[in-house]
Every structure is written in C-alpha cells, then in structure tokens.
C-alpha cells in the first residue's frame, strides 16, 4: 500500500471513529463542565459547608436502543469513609426524559420528572446532598453518571440504601455515561 493510500485509509478511519463517538451515550451539564472545578453554589449547607445545596442541571443524549428508564448518581470516591460518599441517586426516571432540571434534587422531589425517585444519600435523606469535602483535603472527584436501564421501574422505596440501589441499577444497566468534576474547600 502506498503512503498516500495508507494516509487516506487512516483519515477515513478517524472520521468514522469520530462520527461513531458523536453518537455515543453522553452526559453534560451547562453549569458544571467535565474536568473543571464545581461552583460553591452546589456545596452542601451543613457539615461546616454553607452552599446553596442545589443540584445542577443535567442533560443526556444518544441513549442506547432498549432503554426503558434512567438513573442518575453523583459519587465522591475520595471521601474519607473507606467507601466513598453518595451525594445523589435518582432512579425510575422515565425514558422520555433527556435530563434533569436545575434543583431537581430538592428534598420534596417536586422538580423531578413524574415517577422518578431519590434514594437516601449518605447524608441520610432523600435529595441532592451537595459537595462538602473536609476542609484542607485535596480536591475531591465528583463522578456524575447517567445509566440507561432495561427496565421501566426498579423496586425501591424510602428505605432502599444507595448500596442496594446501586446493585439494582448495575443489574439493569445497558450503558452509562459519566463526567468528573472537582471541588476543594480552602
């Protein structure tokens, strides 16, 4: 194969891969960019933190075929607990949803799509629990994930832990999309 033919083949392969990547399941937020710092607006109000404790707006696209519902989680693997820290876990989001509105994590669940349910977070209540790493720690990673599920509804209730919820979500996940952002208290 000539060098020009090889170059053409590589270019066509790269364009095809790029087009395929553009059709992959994706998660984003207009308020929190991937690999960036999280604004104090999303900080918890308690445990020494004094933020607004409001969840960010999230959007997803290109859900895979067979998706029947979604789940969204926010997890801090750097929390000094030995097991990380679950800041938010929403399940039973209808397949018709393509995102969650700003402050969808309000404890009264009024801003969630109908049928969606917030599991109890590691703060001990149902709703968004904002970022709040210990003062002086290096920046913590916050992993935002949307799961495309092959079931319309998970069997959960107000007593379901995030560990059990995570087990159920992972058992029904077709695909997932994530981004990571960072937060540090000075």
Over residues 61-110, the pLDDT tens digits come to 999 999 999 999 999 999 999 999 999 999 999 999 999 999 999 999 89
Q: How far is CA 93 from the centre of its chain?
A: 13
Q: What average pLDDT does this structure show over 15-27? A: 68
* 91 burial via Cβ count (<10 Å: 0-12, 13-18, 19+): buried
Q: Span 171-178, mean pLDDT?
A: 98
pLDDT at 16 over 50: no
pLDDT at 145 over 70: yes
Whether the Cβ atoms of residue 115 and residue 71 lie closer than 8 Å to each other:
no
The average confidence (pLDDT) of the chain is: 90
Q: With a cut of 60, say whether residue 9 has pLDDT above it.
A: no
CATH superfamily of 25-183: PEBP-like (3.90.280.10)
**What whole-number distance in Å separates Cα of residue 157 and Cα of residue 123?**
17
Phi, psi of 160 (to 5 degrees): -70, 125
- Strands in 99-100's sheet, in edge-to-edge order, are 26-28, 58-61, 99-100
Q: Which of 4-18, 70-84, 87-101, 120-134 has the lowest mean pLDDT?
A: 4-18
pLDDT of residue 4: 46
Res. 2: pLDDT tops 60: no
Specify the pLDDT at position 8: 45
Q: What residues pair up with 130 in beta bridges, in sequence order? A: none
DSSP state of 123: T
Q: How confident is the model at residue 28 (pLDDT cuts 50, 70, 90)?
A: very high
Average pLDDT over residues 38-44: 95
- What is the rounded average pLDDT of the residues 44-63? 95
* Domain boundary assignment for the chain: 25-183
Higher pLDDT, 15 or 85: 85
């Amino acid at each position: 194969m000539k060098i020009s033919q090889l170059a053409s083949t590589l270019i066509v392969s790269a364009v095809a891969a790029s087009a395929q990547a553009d059709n992959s399941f994706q998660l984003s937020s207009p308020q929190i960019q991937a690999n960036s710092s999280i604004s104090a607006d999303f900080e918890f109000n308690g445990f020494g933190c004094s933020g607004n404790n409001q969840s960010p707006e999230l959007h997803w696209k290109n859900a895979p075929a067979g998706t029947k519902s979604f789940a969204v989680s926010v997890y801090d693997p750097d929390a000094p607990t030995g097991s990380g820290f679950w800041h938010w876990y929403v399940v039973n989001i209808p397949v018709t949803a393509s995102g969650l509105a700003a402050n969808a994590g309000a404890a009264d669940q009024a801003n969630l799509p109908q049928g969606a349910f917030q599991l109890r977070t590691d703060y001990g209540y149902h709703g968004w629990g904002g970022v709040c790493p210990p003062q002086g720690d290096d920046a913590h990673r916050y992993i935002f994930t949307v799961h495309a599920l092959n079931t319309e509804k998970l069997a959960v209730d107000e007593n379901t832990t995030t560990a059990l919820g995570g087990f159920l979500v992972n058992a029904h996940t077709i695909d997932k999309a994530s981004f990571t952002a960072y937060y540090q208290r000075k």
